[in-house]
Structure 1
Amino acid sequence: MIFDEREQVLWADAWSNTSFKIKFFGGLSLVAVTLSLYPLFFDYIEQRNGKVLNDFFLQKLPAKNVSTPVFTIIWSMGALTLYQVISNPRIAINTIWCFLLIALTRVVSISLWHLDPPTELIPLIDPLSNTFYGGKFITKDLFYSGHTATQFLMFLCLEKRIDKILALISTVMIGILVLIQHVHYTLDVLTAPLFAYLCFKASQWLLKQF
């Protein structure tokens, strides 16, 4: 980590640190490249055949369209995180690099696990999010849940107690809601926080090394 967790860091201090500037703009560039390649990757996985998991819990859960609450929570927490990112460069750089690692590890995990979606899947409707998926709803980006992992990422990166509480609540709610919509298997949701935590620790290690 570039700055000690206990010290208050201002953007003026951050910009005077050459290492911070390299990691900040380097991380943003890698995120931009990764997201620009996402549509090609998702086009690829939509064409392949996979396995439908025998998810006992999901079979007992009636499918309902909860797109509105899902994206209300996601974009509300996104706005809160953006506000804190603008206020705190330490939160900014941690979020950038953790998000990058989540995006990359999802590419790896989705590539390794060839899964078809749950049979009662109801598409999540959000025009803004779907732009990163090539303008269409993707059904096979399953293991692990990016929606749930991103909410837990916010819990890990945010520093104020109330922000962490809100992020943890949103993680649980999003995990439940994507299961209600049947866009993920239970395994996808339960493992997402673990992957997010590993990405967070890995990002902290990387930021210390270079």
Structure 2
Amino acid sequence: MVLGLLLTLAALIPRFFAWVQARPGQRLPDPVLDWLPAHDVSGAAFAVIYLGIGLGVVRLLPRPLRLLRALWGYLLLHGFRCLCLWLLPLEPPRGLVLLHDPLVDRLFYAAPSPITKDLFFSGHTATLLLLTLAVPAGWPRRVLIVATALIGLLVLVQHAHYTYDVLAAVPFAALSFWLAGKVAAFRQRHA
């Protein structure tokens, strides 16, 4: 069921992001970004993201219950993210340097102009944190904690997110993972 819902989300998300991009929003003050010079670190950012996702998936594949919880968490995370984007229209931070993701740009955000307003909260940071919570304790979790912190820093260096976006990713990822545990347990009891 969760895979079907994730595929449905993947099919609907391009239109939603086009709508988010088209509407006006607020530009927030951000003293951290005002202090931090912007640089293009797309290559490093997506190396961290994709290597982190790869590590998380490899560690979860032999653990189907953890994998299932992670998938439910990812679905809930995107639900929360879409709700936040709907409720909080924002303009991109000053000095934004476009992130260039070779995979997502082609598959999900295929639009005539780049998507720059998918801001609150950082999906990159939240996804890596969700995987960190999902994998068993040990060196992979420690590597994913470092990757999560690093991606949070890199999207700030890129000025692709406000500091608030990165910080908010933490409670949203934790809430999504916690709720996913409830959903997975409920579904297992009623299967």
Question: Could you say whether these structures have the same fold, taking a TM-score greater than 0.5 normalized by the shorter chain as the test?
Answer: yes
Deviation at 1:85, TM superposition (A): 2.6
Matched-pair contact (CA < 8 Å) for 1:46–1:138: yes
| Deviation, structure 1 residue 27 | 0.5
Cα deviation for residue 134 of structure 1 reads 2.2
1:52 maps to which of 19, 27, 33: 27
5+ residue gaps in structure 2? none
Is 1:134 aligned to 2:117, yes or no?
no
Task: Supply the distance in 1 between the matched residues of 2:34 and 2:137 (Cα, whole angstroms).
Answer: 38
Q: Distance in 1 between matches of 2:140 and 2:11?
A: 30
Secondary structure of the equivalent of 2:43? helix
Matched position secondary structure for 1:184: coil
Counterpart in 1 of 2:52?
77
Map 1:126-205 onto structure 2 (within 5 A): 126-130=101-105, 131-134=107-110, 137-205=114-182
Question: In structure 1, what is the Cα distance between the partners aligned to 2:64 and 2:15?
Answer: 32
TM-score (norm 1): 0.85
- Give 1:176's aligned amino acid: L
Identity %: 37
Does residue 43 of structure 1 match 2:18?
A: yes
1:43 deviates by 0.4
Q: Is the 8 A contact 2:56 2:132 kept in 1?
A: no
Partner of 2:73: 98
Report the AA paired with residue 133 of structure 2.
L
Larger radius of gyration: 1
What is the aligned-residue RMSD (CA, Å)?
1.1
Counterparts of 2:75 and 2:116, CA distance in 1: 22
SS, match of residue 103 in structure 2: helix
Q: What is the aligned partner in structure 2 of residue 10 from structure 1?
A: none
Structure 1 residue 78 displacement after superposition:
1.3
Q: CA deviation at 1:35?
A: 1.3
| Aligned equivalents of 1:90, 1:166: Cα separation in 2 | 22
Q: Deviations along 1:71-121, whole A, 9 cap, x unmatched?
A: 001111111122123221122101110000011110000100010001210
Structure of greater relative contact order (alpha carbons < 8 Å, 6+ residues apart): 2
Paired residue secondary structure (2:149): helix
TM-score if structure 2 supplies the norm length?
0.94
Q: What are structure 1's unaligned runs of at least 5 residues?
A: 1-25
| Contact 2:126 2:170 survives alignment (8 Å) | yes
Structure 1 residue ranges, 4+ long, deviating more than 4 angstroms after superposition: none
Structure 1 CA distance, aligned partners of 2:58 and 2:178?
23
